[in-house]
Amino acid sequence: MNIHHLELFYYVARNEGITAAARNMPYGIQQAAISGQIAQLEEFLGMVLFRRRPFALTPPGVKLYNFIKPFFDNLEPIAEEIRGGVAQHLRIAASEIVMRDYLPEMVQTTRKQFPKLKLTMREGYHPEVLRWLEQSEIDVALGLLGGKTPNSIHSLTLFQLPLVLMVPARHKLKSAQELWDQDHIQESLITIPTNQVICRAFQEGLAKRKVDWFGGIEVSSLSLAETYVEKGYGLAVIVGIPNVTYKSQVRTVPLDGFPTVPFGVLWQGLQTPVLAHFLKVVQATAGKMALNL
């Protein structure tokens, strides 16, 4: 039996399809090549190992996958062990706030265990980070979670964040209820890229109050939202993040009774020792943050 054929079958089964397997292989290989070699494996065994559309392992496929999975699952960890932990590279995606205010401490803690840790950090938001994970461009992502994640991606919710309105410090608004009591809200609504998650929750809260208020300005980052709020272009709907300091010219107003938004971590595939340790650090940090919510 060709061991390479078994490796290809392992990735196809783990990623639930040839297309996804081609994207997540540790080396470059075309879909046609995978398909052809899987066909050779099935011909050798005299069995169909999986159905193509929709993807599903056949009973012989399940039996073979369960047999080879422990071996291929442990290849990377044993390689890491043999190398003595030299390969310590972690590719992280997160929002600007997380990278600025929380990642430095988490990285410092992780480096105590992995002194040679090399980092690649990329700013991004859901669902953009999902694509990066599927294409193996990053190892882990921290941020707001929204919608169903692909089967190949692991998701862990750490805590729930409340929605708040960012308003100019000089604004007379004391509570959000003052807005809901208006016949028509005159203020423009500013949203940031995470609005696919935030706006769903915000609009759900508005609908319960029978209030119409839709986004008028979309900006690319929280810092831009602060700038536009400060200059009087409108009010921004954001999430209330613990221990974050905003500009002195802006403040936040609670949105009591509105749905919360989940914050969590995403990763794909096997956990290398450095990723597993980093996830523990993230959970410990999240526990401290949750105390301030």
Q: 39-74, pLDDT tens digit by residue?
A: 999 999 999 999 988 899 999 999 999 999 999 888
In single-letter form, the type of residue at position 278 comes to F
Low pLDDT (below 70) residues in the chain: 77, 79-87, 193-195, 290-293
pLDDT at 80: 62
For 113-148, give one letter per residue: b (16+ CB within 10 A) or e: ebeebeeeeebbbbebbbebbbeeebbbbbbbbbee
- What the block records as the tokens of 283 is 């959970």
- Domains in the chain, CATH or no CATH each: 3-73 (1.10.10.10), 83-159+262-290 (3.40.190.10), 163-259 (3.40.190.10)
Q: List Cβ<8 Å contacts ≥24 apart for 284-288.
A: 285/102, 285/105, 285/106, 286/158, 286/159
Query: Secondary structure of the chain in the HEC alphabet?
Result: CCHHHHHHHHHHHHHCCHHHHHHHCCCCCCHHHHHHHHHHHHHHHCCCCEECCCCEECHHHHHHHHHHHHHHHCHHHHHHHHCCCCCCEEEEEECHHHHHHCHHHHHHHHHHHCCCCEEEEEECCCCHHHHHHHCCCCCEEEEECCCCCCCCEEEEEEEEECEEEEEECCCCCCCCHHHHCCCCCCCCEEECCCHHHHHHHHHHHHHHCCCCCCEEEECCCHHHHHHHHHCCCCEEEEECCCCCCCCCCEEEEECCCCCCEEEEEEEECCCCHHHHHHHHHHHHHHHHHHCCC
Torsion of CA 228, 230, 236, 241, to 10 degrees: 120
At 141, give phi and psi (nearest 5°). -135, 140
pTM of the model: 0.65
Q: Which of 266, 247, 236, 55 is CA-nearest to residue 140?
A: 266
pLDDT at 25: 80
pLDDT at 86: 45
